[in-house]
Amino acid sequence: MDNTNNNKPHKSHQTTIIVGAVSLVLIILLGFLYFKNRSEMKALVNEMVEEKEMLTYEFENLALDYDSLQTNSDTLNTMLEMEREKISQLIEEIQTIKATNASKIREYKKELTSLRKVLKNYVVQIDSLNQSNKALQEENLKYRKKVSNMQTTYSKLEEVKQTLEKKVKVASKLETYNIEADGLNSKNRTTTKTSRVSKIRICFSIQKNITAEVGEKTIYLRVLRPDGALLYHSKEDLFLHENKKINYSSKRIIEYGGEEVDVCLYYQVDAGELTKGEYVADIFADGYNIGTMTFNLK
């Protein structure tokens, strides 16, 4: 009886030790598992943080890729600007979400893939547009060269035309020969005495010229005294010469048909108008001086 009672406390003590040992092992095991899981979770969170940072970095690089695209198309530029704004907004959103929000991270990854495909499409469009622009620029350059050559050719032809017109003008200019000057008295007899001269007569022949314009021609005469003064009757007696209106001494209208013709012009002398010395007679037609001669009166 006594032995039995003595064994009971002993067995109870052993049980307590065993339970305590098992509990200690369990606590140690649970602690190990806790710290192990905590370490794994921390590593997982760090990995997700790195993934978030990498995603942000890739979006930023994508934004730079969009910024590098340049085109002259206003429509494409507007679309590219919209994509840039979208990427900028996504970057701001990524920075605000938690790294552990796996579903959101997956959504942004899909969006990144989609935006990269869009970028490739824009690259193809812009490359095609640039090629077209290059072809147009080359075509435009050829056209400008062609226009420049045409302008050069036109300028040369215009120069040739002007040269020919000048030659024709010169060729069509009337020319005179056999110019004679006489002083006539009141009885139409020749005299060289200034006191007896009542008229000055200038006679000449106009040469044959088939290139000259035919029809009525006005022939003008200017007679200069020895002192250089012009003999004329009215300040209104004017004609055009070298783009200036100048006075004439007398004029005559003739019919010119391209053949040789003899012409005489007269100047009615006013009393006391003449002086002794050498006179100069100039003949004009079609704006040109067609003959000059000198004569003397005593």
Domains recognised in the chain with CATH numbers: 1-172 (no CATH), 176-297 (2.60.40)
pLDDT of residue 31: 63
Backbone φ/ψ region at 133: left (φ over 0), alpha (ψ -120 to 50), beta: alpha
pLDDT bracket for residue 165 (50, 70, 90): low
pLDDT bracket for residue 197 (50, 70, 90): very high
Q: What is the distance between the alpha carbons of residues 87 and 75, in angstroms, rounded to a whole number?
A: 19
**Taking all residues of the chain, what is their mean pLDDT, rounded to a whole number?**
81
206, β-bridge pairs: 176, 261
Residue 49 in contact with residue 105, Cβ under 8 Å?
A: no
Q: What is the distance between the alpha carbons of residues 286 and 241, in angstroms, rounded to a whole number?
A: 9
Residues 279-296: what's their mean pLDDT? 92
pLDDT bracket for residue 124 (50, 70, 90): confident
pLDDT of residue 78: 81
pLDDT of residue 1: 46
Helix (H, G, I), strand (E, B) or coil at 208: coil
Count of CB atoms situated within 10 Å of the CB of 86? 15
Count of CB atoms situated within 10 Å of the CB of 171? 12
pLDDT of residue 99: 58
At 78-91, the pLDDT tens digits run: 887 788 888 778 77
Q: What is the distance between the alpha carbons of residues 171 and 209, in angstroms, rounded to a whole number?
A: 8
Count of CB atoms situated within 10 Å of the CB of 6? 9
At 207-227, the pLDDT tens digits run: 898 878 889 999 999 999 999
pLDDT of residue 80: 76
**Model confidence at 70: pLDDT above 80:** no
Most confident of 8-22, 70-84, 188-202: 188-202
Residue 201 in contact with residue 191, Cβ under 8 Å?
A: no
Q: Name the residue with tokens 């004029």.
A: 251
Q: What is the distance between the alpha carbons of residues 76 and 74, in angstroms, rounded to a whole number?
A: 6
Residue 281, amino acid = A
Which has the closest alpha carbon to 70: 57, 58, 84? 84
